[in-house]
Amino acid sequence: MDLNVALQKALEDFADRHPASKEASLRAAQALPGGNTRHALFCNPFPVTLVRGEGCHVWDADGHQYVDALGEFTASITGHTHPAVKAAAIAALERGINLGGHIAQEAELSQAIKARFPSMQLMRFCNSGTEANMMNILTARAYTSREKVMVFEGSYHGGVFSFPCGKTMRTNVPFQFLTAPYNDAQAAERLIKEHGSDLACVIFEPMLGTGGCIPASKEFVHTIRAATEQVGALMIMDEVMTSRLSPGGLQQSLGVTPDLTSLGKYVGGGFSFGAFGGRADVMQAYDPRNPAGLMHSGTFNNNTLSMAAGAVTMTQWTGVGSMLTAQFYAGSISSARDLVDTNPRLKELLYLHLLKCGVWTTTRCMFSPCLVMGDKQYSTIIQAVESFLLAYPGLAQANEP
């Protein structure tokens, strides 16, 4: 079967099944570029418009029901309209929206985070994982009085910190970045030592998110830890996505203590949230009682909804997490370089097939299950993937460029 023919047929079928989404997209395009304000959610010929969610399901404007395998890229860990989170949000609204002062839930949420992530001795709240990563990098630059920031191919630390293989993002923050291959311990150590006197920090995801859900090896992580300590640079672990993979994040599983950690996504209970923090001697610079310290503010840093919903969410998420990702690729995968030649059209075909089978994800085909999923929902996902392999056996196995 020809991939182009199969994809064209799937796109035509998609358009026929989603007339209301098409109409909504055309309306949005009158004020939004391409009718879109989040690139990760866009798809051809137009994106699906969702109208509601409940539990582990979402519904679109055309009435189709889906098992939500995306989980809002890990942000919806408790599913949609979880009773405890919903009650906390409603109670927060009834007490008043964003009071313009300290609220009790700030201490409650920060203590809950600290209990799970002991490396975060002191922390600050912000509004997103992107902002948390930006503040951690700025903190490291201020603490070390150095400028260079080391990152890794395939990593994504937010909308202004994206490092896809072979591409230069013109919208990245203009820091002095050094880029190394992911999971290459020797290359990382060599670059850290080469630039040690000018290196402020090394920031990395203990599992690449956008880069393909590729976990870091223990050797890689511990090599970074030892090398940064040797040259006096700070190690920043971006656990915005990965903190859900273990009660104490992947830093707990890997047995490593970073200098600074970035959090976001589900920790705010499904509302906008970010947190950055770590060593007390580093974060002490943000103590407002210190006239020579660092300034950090933001109208919504302690917004009532995120604080209340986040505090409750931390009580719901208690067990050991799991990683779920389908990789249609022959051979081992240890870095984003291993996925460079993966055919995006084949992934698009898989995405369209999953939608038709009632599985919600994006063209990235990322799976981030929520806590309320059961055997029935997992079976739906598994059967959808199996039916794709049966429907397109030659294409799925070949994965030709």
Catalytic one among 156, 266, 286, 351? 156
Tell me which residue of 328, 339, 353 sits closest to 7, measured CA to CA.
Answer: 353
What does the alpha-carbon distance between residue 225 and residue 382 come to, in Å, rounded to a whole number? Answer: 38
* Phi/psi of residue 334, nearest 5 degrees: -125, -10
What does the alpha-carbon distance between residue 243 and residue 232 come to, in Å, rounded to a whole number? Answer: 25
Task: Return the bridge partners of 65, or none.
Answer: 59
What does the alpha-carbon distance between residue 205 and residue 214 come to, in Å, rounded to a whole number? Answer: 10
Return the number of other C-beta atoms located less than 10 Å from residue 343's C-beta: 15
DSSP letters for 223-245: HHHHHHHHHTPEEEEE-TTGGGG
Catalytic one among 238, 266, 338, 351? 238
Tell me which residue of 218, 237, 223 sits closest to 186, measured CA to CA.
Answer: 223
- Secondary structure (3-state) at 290: coil
What does the alpha-carbon distance between residue 347 and residue 122 come to, in Å, rounded to a whole number? Answer: 42
Q: Are 358 and 65 in contact (CB under 8 A)?
A: yes
Catalytic one among 22, 265, 286, 338? 265
Task: Return the bridge partners of 54, or none.
Answer: 57
Residue 156 is a catalytic residue? yes
Cα distances from 226 to residues 39, 230, 270, 287, in angstroms, run 37, 6, 35, 29
Q: Are 174 and 241 in contact (CB under 8 A)?
A: no
Return the structure tokens found at 239: 């656990």
What does the alpha-carbon distance between residue 278 and residue 164 come to, in Å, rounded to a whole number? Answer: 27
Residue 378 is a catalytic residue? no
Return the number of other C-beta atoms located less than 10 Å from residue 346's C-beta: 21
Residue 376 is a catalytic residue? no
- For the chain, report the end-to-end CA distance as a whole number of angstroms: 15
| Catalytic residue ranges | 156, 238, 265
